[in-house]
Amino acid sequence: MMLNKKLIPFLSAVILCFFVTTILAQESTAAKPRKHKFTLYAGAGPNVYFNNLALAKDYVKEINYSFAGRFMWEPEHNLSLGIESGYYCLYTVDFKEQSDVNIKNAAIPIQLVVCMKFLKHFYFSFASGQSILMNDITQTLNGDISASTISLGDFAGSLGYKWDLKERFSLGAETKFFYASKLNDKNLALLFMVGYHL
């Protein structure tokens, strides 16, 4: 709860600065008309989990993987809106020789995203919404256990680079910070993105 109170004013100020920069840039330069206003993005890459577990902290595998996808409306201006989802493996726990129990915790976010392009190829995005948190426990003696819950008030922020290959395709990379409020889970991913203009 304390983390939210500290981050909200900071994130609000950053977003406000980007909005002001976008408006000024749009007034000073004429935007080129775009043929394709909708774009699909997909990406994957490694992530690192900020380990906040009290129990079994030494058995947590902090390096995992993330998949992300976006459907964006991109008009002529530098500001775009869309919806984002994916699959983020937050952490796994392996007790090795001490126990046959393995734990995996993952998140599936469903968030609204605002993206703003700045300079020529760089962009910043902010996403907010809900996530489905999934916890899977595998063990040989007592069988597998799966549970899921909804995490409200989650958010993500990305800073990325995008390069247009041809009229319809683009390649890029971004760093994405994800925060799930339910259990105070945080991770940072490096995603390699492919875009296709519809």
Residue segments in the chain with a per-residue pLDDT below the cut of 50? 1-3, 20-31
Task: Write the pLDDT tens digit of every residue in 125-139.
Answer: 999 999 999 999 988
Q: Residue 123: what pLDDT?
A: 96
**Topology of domain 39-197, CATH:** Porin (2.40.160)
- Tell me, what's the pLDDT at 56? 78
Please write down the HEC assignment for all residues of the chain: CHHHHHHHHHHHHHHHHHHHHHHHHHHHCCCCCCCCCEEEEEEEEEEEECCCCCCCHHHEECEEEEEEEEEEECCCCCEEEEEEEEEEEEEEEECHHHCCCEEEEEEEEEEEEEEEEECCCEEEEEEEEEEEEEEEEECCCCCCEEEEEEEEEEEEEEEEEEEECCCCEEEEEEEEEEEECCCCEEEEEEEEEEEEEC
pLDDT given for residue 11 in this prediction: 57
pLDDT in tens, 148-175: 999 999 999 999 999 998 788 999 999 9
pTM: 0.78
